[in-house]
């Protein structure tokens, strides 16, 4: 057992807090070493650069990245000198299977990052130190636009398991980093019976910022609203991570905590960044990498899956990597009021497997599914599960306002989107479990692509 795990399991809470404080401080020191400061200056400088300067620099970064990749990665060696669009598309399964020929450094030379894949297979990516310093420099630069810096009080809701069963009985649902003023909340135990402990801990801490899973913060907020509780502090900004930010998350969280919700996209495999500006637009950051948007035939499109080439992945190069997310680009003529010339994305759709398959309507995406609650009273959260083409099971956590009429409204809204050939079964439950990663999944699609194909063939 690693020392860290040993401390988490056996030490008293104060001891754990001290351990967490020291460990975090060590991590921050590591991230802020080396090139961190220079990259902070770099991103500040290019914030106000002209369109030409940015395009020129983006090309330089791409050239450098492809050259270094083809020089150092055995997997990419044979593509030396090719322009980006002639590189092969990198599938997730290939990255998993050929990690050892793709990567350019050994584990001990870099920083290992583990990501939970959609299939449950976890992926191990090795970052070069310099790239990690760049990523943190950009993230901090981005958050600094909203006044954030290290040392401001932050409430953190992430997928780390921090809390032991005996802690729950005592209402200890968080751990503190005393040095960097961060309160880490467990996202696994936000429930009706633990709500009071969470709310007390949040209110007494009075964070200036929140970072973490939007579904967790949203759950906390809806429970507070049900109890007619008013938060008597003010959070400056919430920086969501890891999950798609659904419209209802945005409105409820900003209403309860009075904060701006500032979205970002940067998957843990090392994708380039999409960052929300103070005017609410999602801007692609062209100095972090290339986003190619493609249709089902892998041809360029304005809306569809993305292939990412990320300039901060020298350790495990990602070139035209099919990461499994979708975006829609804003029309080229669109100019954001913030003045930035960085391209704007209309929306980011989480993983491509996050959809329900309708034999009549094809893929019904996450945004459309979540919209089904728009005119329905009483739903706290729900999860749609699909195991066969013609039926879905929906687990719903709801309060007393979710009457028979409201249930019917919800089913009607669902049927409108899924078509009449899909039966909708509603199950009222007390709780919907999260994934092992701590993330909440609105949609769980267990249909294989074979099944979908035969379903659509039957139809035609
Ligand atoms: Zn903008």
- Domains along the chain? 3-264 (3.40.50.12780), 355-459 (3.30.300.30)
Q: How far apart are CA 406 and CA 398, in angstroms?
A: 11
Q: Are 130 and 34 spatial neighbours (Cβ–Cβ below 8 Å)?
A: yes
* Alpha-carbon span 377 to 125, nearest angstrom: 43
**Band (459; pLDDT cuts 50, 70, 90):** very low
**Centre of ligand 1 from the C-alpha of residue 275, in Å:** 9
Q: How far is the CA of 46 from the centre of ligand 1 (A)?
A: 14
- The answer to whether 194 and 223 have CB atoms below 8 angstroms apart is no
pLDDT digits (tens, 9 = 90+) for 138-167: 999 999 999 998 899 999 998 676 777 778
Mean pLDDT across 72-86: 96
Do the strands 321-329 and 303-310 form a parallel or antiparallel pair, or are they unpaired? antiparallel
How close is the Cα of 341 to the center of ligand 1, in Å? Answer: 8
What's the gap in Å between 42 CA and the centre of ligand 1?
A: 19
CA of 55 to the centre of ligand 1 (A): 17
The helix-helix angle for 36-47 and 129-144 (nearest 10°) equals: 50
**Over residues 51-69, mean pLDDT:** 96
Residue 170's CB is within 10 A of a number of other CB atoms, namely: 10
Query: How many alpha carbons lie under 13 Å from residue 242 in its C-beta half-sphere?
Result: 23
Paired strand residues for 185: 157, 174
Distances in Å between the alpha carbon of 168 and those of 57, 105, 155, 292, 337?
52, 42, 18, 46, 47
Q: How many residues does the chain have?
A: 460
Tell me the per-residue pLDDT of 125-142, one tens digit each, with 9 for 90 and over: 899 999 999 999 999 999
**C-alpha 116 – ligand 1 centre gap (Å):** 31
218-255 confidence digits (pLDDT tens): 989 999 999 999 999 999 999 998 777 888 889 999 99
Average pLDDT of the segment spanning 359-385: 80
Between the CA of 127 and the centroid of ligand 1 the distance, in Å, is 29
342, 283 contact by CB (below 8 A): yes
Helix (H) and strand (E) counts in the chain: 14, 21
Q: Rounded to the nearest whole angstrom, what is the distance from the C-alpha of residue 337 to the centroid of ligand 1?
A: 6
Give the Å distance between the CA of 47 and the centre of ligand 1.
11
**329 CA distance to ligand 1 middle (Å):** 14
Distance 250 CA to ligand 1 centre (A): 18
Distance between Cα 287 and ligand 1 center (Å) = 16
Chain mean pLDDT for the chain: 87
Which residues lie closer than 8 Å to 195 by C-beta, 6 or more apart?
A: 220, 223, 224, 227
Q: How far is CA 323 from the centre of its chain?
A: 13
How far, in Å, is the centroid of ligand 1 from the Cα of 340?
Answer: 6
DSSP, res 399: -
Q: Which residues surround ligand 1, an ion (CB under 5 A)?
A: 277, 279, 281, 336, 338, 340
Q: Over the stretch 17-42, which tens digit does the pLDDT of each residue have? A: 888 888 888 888 888 889 999 999 99
């Amino acid at each position: 057992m690693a020392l860290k795990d040993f401390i988490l399991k056996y030490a008293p809470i104060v001891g754990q807090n001290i351990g967490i404080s020291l460990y975090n401080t060590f991590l921050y020191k590591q991230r802020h070493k080396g090139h961190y400061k220079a990259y902070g200056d770099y991103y500040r400088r290019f914030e106000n650069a002209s369109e030409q300067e940015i395009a020129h620099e983006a090309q330089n970064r791409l050239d450098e990245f492809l050259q270094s990749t083809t020089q150092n990665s055995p997997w990419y060696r044979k593509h030396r000198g090719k322009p980006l669009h002639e590189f092969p598309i990198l599938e997730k399964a290939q990255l998993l299977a050929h990690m050892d020929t793709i990567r350019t450094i050994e584990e001990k030379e870099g920083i290992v990052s583990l990501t939970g894949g959609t299939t449950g297979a976890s992926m191990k990516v090795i970052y070069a130190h310099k790239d990690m310093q760049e990523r943190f420099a950009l993230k901090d630069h981005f958050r600094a636009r909203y006044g954030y810096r290290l040392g401001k009080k932050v409430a953190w809701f992430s997928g780390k398991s921090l809390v032991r069963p005996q802690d729950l009985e005592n209402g200890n649902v968080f751990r503190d980093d005393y040095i960097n003023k961060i309160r880490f909340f467990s996202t696994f135990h936000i429930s009706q019976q633990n709500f009071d402990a969470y709310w007390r801990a949040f209110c007494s801490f009075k964070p200036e910022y929140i970072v973490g899973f939007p579904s967790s913060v949203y759950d906390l907020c809806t429970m507070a609203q049900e109890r007619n509780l008013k938060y008597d502090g003010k959070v400056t900004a919430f920086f969501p991570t890891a999950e798609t930010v659904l419209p209802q998350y945005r409105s409820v969280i900003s209403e309860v905590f009075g904060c701006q919700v500032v979205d970002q996209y940067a998957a843990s495999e090392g994708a380039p960044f999409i960052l929300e500006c103070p005017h609410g637009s999602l801007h692609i950051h062209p100095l972090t990498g290339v986003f190619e948007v493609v249709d089902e035939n892998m041809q360029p499109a304005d809306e569809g899956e993305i292939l990412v080439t990320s300039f901060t992945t020298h350790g495990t190069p990602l070139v035209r990597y099919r990461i499994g997310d979708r975006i829609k680009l804003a029309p080229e003529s669109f100019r954001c009021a913030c003045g930035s010339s960085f391209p704007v994305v209309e929306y980011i759709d989480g993983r491509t497997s996050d959809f329900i398959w309708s034999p009549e309507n094809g893929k019904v995406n996450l945004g459309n599914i979540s919209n089904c609650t728009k005119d329905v009273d009483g739903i706290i959260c729900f999860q749609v599960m699909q195991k066969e083409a013609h039926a879905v099971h929906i687990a719903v956590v709801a309060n007393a306002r979710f009457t028979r009429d409201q249930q019917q409204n919800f089913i009607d809204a669902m049927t409108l989107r899924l078509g009449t050939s899909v039966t909708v079964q509603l199950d009222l439950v007390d709780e919907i479990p999260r994934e092992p990663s701590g993330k909440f999944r609105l949609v769980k699609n267990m249909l294989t692509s074979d099944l979908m194909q035969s379903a659509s063939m039957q139809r035609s």
